[in-house]
Amino acid sequence: MNIGSATPRWQMAIAALTACFSVSASAAIAVAPAPTLDNTAYVVMDFESGRILSQVNAEQPLPPASLTKMMTSYIVEQALKAGRLKPTDMVSVSENAWCRGTNAESCMYLPVHGSASVIDILRGIIVQSGNDASKAIAEHMAGSEASFAVLMNKEAERLGMKNTYFANATGLPDPKHRASAHDLAILARAIIRDSSDYYKIYSEKEFKYNGIKQGNRNALLYTDSSVDGLKTGHTAEAGFCLTASSKRNDMRLISVIMGAKSMQARADQTRALFNWGFGSFEDVRPLAANTPLATPKVRFGKADVVKVGLTEPMVATIPRGQAANVKSDLQLTTGITAPIAKGTVLGKVVISLDGQSYGEQALVALEPVEEAGFFSKLWQRIKEFFSKD
């Protein structure tokens, strides 16, 4: 259902709401090309809308190295959030989890047969990229690292990570262990959205444990105050990888770089993507949540109409400077019939610019509508019969 064909009862309200977002037929959308980067794959995504702004080989399953640990930390964070873990719970360090301190792997340097608190383990995973911390928490939560990997893959499936398979909690090389740049951006978005109590750890520049102080390997944390996470990774097979997030004013971007040639290259490429993304795009919020956007008629209900709207604010990521040319189009379900529960999907709203969709969101009932009684429904049927052409 288009806004132009809305019922008079709410037509003026919607027209006023979207007046500053009407389409101009002559709208010219010009965006500078994304930077050319020397890596295996990359993606840059808007956090709020989830829109991909640029990508190369973003769906290709690749060795993710320690970017894997974002899933390990996410599972720990969600267990803390749900109360299945407590920050002060102690985690034992088996000989299998113990890190011997070679140059071949990153370590938190947990003492063998010792223990550490869950919150220290989480910092060791995120800041120090500790393989020992990752293995220890995996054994603590699932009995073994292999069983924990099953949990990782179930969570990846739930989040919609379609080109990912985890064989371990660390990212150490395994022929089956793969993730795509797009999937890792999806995971980063989930961490920022779902782990707000712990997300600040991803911006911590250093962590001292067992008398050993180590710095976060995300170089952008030291040079760009807008960057507040997330994780680095490196193996000979994977190259140098970085998942990062930057928030400037009211817009947040997520970048994933895989297979860069050096630590400096992954930082420089991420910085280039952020500068391009923030300079080329903006987020617009044309429609608010929990605000009636339409009152379509209801058949056989105690009420004649139902208020419909959004459960979350509508956000669209568009080329910068084009906000005045955005169109909001309401498309309502036909033949809406009671009973209707609150939250029932009754259509969708589509945001478009110059004929191109920039996102859509479900329209839902903002209130319940009970079914009318027998005689009321009978009378409505009679009126419907005689109103037919």
Indicate which residue of 69, 135, 307, 327 is catalytic: 69
Pick one of 3.30.70.260, 3.40.50.300, 3.30.2290.10, 3.40.710.10 as the CATH number of 41-260.
Answer: 3.40.710.10
Q: Which residues contact 275 (CB under 8 A, 6 or more apart)?
A: none
DSSP state of 313: -
Pick the closest to residue 133 from 114, 142, 120, 149 (CA basis).
120
DSSP state of 93: -
**What is the C-alpha to C-alpha distance for residues 293 and 299, in angstroms, rounded to an integer?**
19
- Which tens digit of pLDDT belongs to each residue from 234-281? 999 999 999 999 999 999 999 999 999 999 999 999 999 999 999 999
Under the banding of pLDDT at 50, 70 and 90, the label for residue 45 is very high
Is residue 90 within a helix (H) or strand (E), and if so which, with residue range?
A: strand 90-92
332: left (phi over 0), alpha (psi -120 to 50) or beta: beta
Strand locations in the chain, DSSP E?
A: 41-46, 52-56, 90-92, 115-117, 206-209, 212-215, 227-235, 239-248, 251-260, 281-287, 308-309, 314-319, 326-332, 345-353, 356-365
Q: Which residues contact 38 (CB under 8 A, 6 or more apart)?
A: 260, 261, 265, 269
- pLDDT of 255 reads 98
Q: Do domains 3-26+285-387 and 41-260 have the same CATH topology?
A: no
Indicate which residue of 54, 66, 73, 255 is catalytic: 66
- pLDDT of 375 reads 60
- Which tens digit of pLDDT belongs to each residue from 59-114? 999 999 999 999 999 999 999 999 999 999 999 999 999 997 666 789 999 999 99
- pLDDT of 303 reads 92
Q: Where are the domains of the chain?
A: 3-26+285-387, 41-260
Whether 352 is catalytic is no
| Overall fold of domain 3-26+285-387 | Peptidoglycan synthesis regulatory factor (PBP3), Domain 2 (2.60.410)
Whether 69 is catalytic is yes
Q: How large is the average pLDDT for residues 201-225?
A: 96
Indicate which residue of 73, 129, 134, 245 is catalytic: 129
State the amino acid at position 131 in one-letter form.
N
Residue 221: is its pLDDT beyond 90? Answer: yes
Mean pLDDT of the chain: 90
